[in-house]
Structure 1
Amino acid sequence: MREVVGAHLRLWGCAELVAVAQLVTSELVTNAILHGAGGSVHFRLARTDAEPCIEVDDGSPGRPRVRNPGPDDESGRGMLLVDALAHRWGTSEDGTNTWCVLLLPMVDR
């Protein structure tokens, strides 16, 4: 999955976002596996208006939430990372799909 994300971003000319996109995708997919309905998890990578968009569908109506884990907590940071790294993120109306958009850095022209 991480390799697929990296390859697509490089193909789209967004190499500077590879590490962030790989981390965000990994966190969204992990969150779906741990907290989803227990069935299939699907992810989609698209480019809309030159902004990479990552979507993960787990079939569960539960919506992810940003937590504030303590320093000794071993989990609970996934959506905190997504919230910090994504330009914006949200869920579908039914909660089965979580998405985020990454912001391309400004380029001097």
Structure 2
Amino acid sequence: MSPATAVASAAAKALPQTSRAFDVTFACDPACVGRARRITRAFLGLWNVNGELAENILLAVSELVTNAIEHGTGDVALRLWYPHGELRIEVTDDNPAPAELRLAGDDDVSGRGLFLVAVLARTWGVSKDGKTTWCMFRIPEGRG
């Protein structure tokens, strides 16, 4: 092994691993939806998740955070983690009434968020206490 290769190899081993999770809490304010998207986009970039998959994940984050602001109470917590081939998104508020999938009418201006999440994500659900709505995306091999 050449000296340059040895130095590069040692430097690569010394670099810290990028965390595969983050948690952030926002005040219940519509402006936090944009902040949640920007933070998520930054982490997806670090994890090498991009393109259409990243856009779908960002849409799910937007919809879940928006639902928490519109229907929840108290602060809104966003958590993403991505251990092995799947990325999990959780959004928590203090409202114990669980999020419910519903079909919006043609003239309704809202009410399609969970439907979009259900279509884009591999799976989704609500915690037993009703305060956390979550979804999961499969991340193909070679990303992150």
State the TM-score, normalizing by the size of structure 1.
0.89
Matched, 1:100 2:135: yes
* Conserved 8 A contact 1:69-1:77: yes
Please state how far the C-alpha of 1:48 moved relative to its aligned partner.
2.8
Matched, 1:46 2:81: yes
SS of residue matched to 1:53 = strand
Tell me which amino acid in the other structure corresponds to 1:95. G
Tell me which amino acid in the other structure corresponds to 1:101. M
Please state how far the C-alpha of 1:96 moved relative to its aligned partner.
0.8
CA distance in 2, matches of 1:97, 1:19: 22
Q: 1:32 matched to which residue of 2?
A: 68
| 1:1-109 mapped onto 2 (5 Å cutoff) | 1-16=36-51, 17-36=53-72, 38-105=73-140
* Conserved 8 A contact 1:67-1:77: yes
SS of residue matched to 2:82 = strand
SS of residue matched to 2:89 = strand
* Root-mean-square deviation (Å): 1.4
* Conserved 8 A contact 1:43-1:56: yes
* Conserved 8 A contact 1:5-1:18: no
Larger CA Rg, structure 1 vs 2: 2
CA distance in 1, matches of 2:42, 2:54: 8
CA distance in 2, matches of 1:15, 1:34: 28
Q: 2:12 matched to which residue of 1?
A: none
Please state how far the C-alpha of 1:55 moved relative to its aligned partner.
0.5
Please state how far the C-alpha of 1:10 moved relative to its aligned partner.
1.7
Unaligned runs of 5+ in 2: 1-35
SS of residue matched to 2:91 = strand
SS of residue matched to 2:54 = helix
Displaced runs of 4 or more, over 3 A: none
SS of residue matched to 1:61 = coil
SS of residue matched to 1:42 = strand
